[in-house]
Every structure is written in C-alpha cells, then in structure tokens.
Amino acid sequence: MRSVRPNEPSLDARQALWFQLMQFYIREAWLLDERRFKEWLDIFTDDIIYFMPRRKNVLRRELHREVTPLGDLAIFEEDRRYLEMRVARLDTGMAWAEEPPSRTRHLIGNLEATPLESGDVSARTAFLVYRSHLETDSQLLSGSREDVLRPLDGGWKVARRTIVLDANVLLDKNLSVFL
C-alpha cells in the first residue's frame, strides 16, 4: 500500500476528476462546433464572467504586465445576460458577421485541474480553434482558457472563464465565434 498524505486526493480521485472534466470540455467543443449555442450557455453559472484580456508586448522582466487586468479595456468582459444576447442575436437572421455562419473546430487539451478549498476546481486548458468563413476566409486562434468550475446540479458549471489569446494584433477580420 502506498501512503497518501492527508488532504491530498488519491491518484484515483484525480484521475476521475481529470476524466470528468475532459468529457465536460469535449462536450462543450461539440456544442460550439455544432452551433448548439443555447445549450452551450447552460454550461455557465448565472454569475459567469466571460473575460478575454488583451495581451501586450512587454519586456521579460515586466511579464506581470503582459496580460491586462480586469478593469482595463478587454476584448470580452461579459456577464450572462450579455452572452445570452450574443447568442440570441444569431437567430435574428441579420447577424451579418455570422450569416452565413462560420465553420469552426474547437480542439481542447492540456487540461490541468486543481481542486480549490471552496469546493470549486480551477481548470486550465489550451485550445486551437479553426474558423472558416464564407469562401476563403480562415483563421486559427490559439490560446489558453482558465476556468473556475463549480459543482452544481450534479455536474460542473463554469463560474469564471479567462481566455488568453496568443496574439497581440488579431489577424482576423473580427472575433464572432465563441471560445
């Protein structure tokens, strides 16, 4: 028998959490790529903050300034109502950035999950998202997501999502897909 330190989940519990969360993220990716955005909204808590800061060029010794903090101008700083509004917009028939809609593929990996004292879990993932639009437009978005996941209704919900793109100037005509 190997010894387990108190307060540290056993390897099995960690594996179980990792497996559970990976399934959660794979399901989310399919919801997005199959354009089931109303169902996608269900993965968020009512107090979600969906946040995408800007990323700056700074010197190595100043890397603490690389990602802009909450309170500065962000690319996304949305609560649940704003997210619902974005999704509802797609059904108006006049959301021209997504009419005809983009074809996307979300690849999510590199999951690291850390249980927090509150019972929430901090989950980091990396993503590659490919978007193809109209005839020849395409973009490749890469970055990380840092989520706070909360156990709710027998599953997990995202209570806070911070998306950090690996880009300074976005090379894309617009950012009309969800990450």
Q: Going by C-beta distance under 8 Å and a sequence separation of 6 or more, which residues neighbour residue 121?
A: 17, 21, 113, 114, 115, 148, 149, 156
Query: For other proteins, which residue of 84, 111, 113, 124 counts as binding (CB under 8 A)?
Result: 84
Phi–psi pair at 20, nearest 5 degrees: -60, -45
Binding track over 29-68 against other proteins, x by CB under 8 A: -----------------------x-x-xxxx--x------
Give me the amino acid identity at 44: F
Extended beta strands in 37-134, E state: 44-52, 76-78, 103-115, 121-133
Stretch that binds other proteins, among 18-26, 30-38, 105-113, 169-177 (CB under 8 A): 169-177
Min separation Cβ 171 and other proteins, Å: 5
Q: Does 73 bind other proteins (CB under 8 A)?
A: yes
To other proteins, the closest distance from the beta carbon of 160 in angstroms equals 15
Q: Return d(Cα 121, Cα 114) in angstroms, integer.
A: 6
Which residues would be at the binding site for other proteins (CB under 8 A)? 52, 54, 56-59, 62, 71-78, 81-82, 84-86, 88-89, 92-97, 134, 168-176
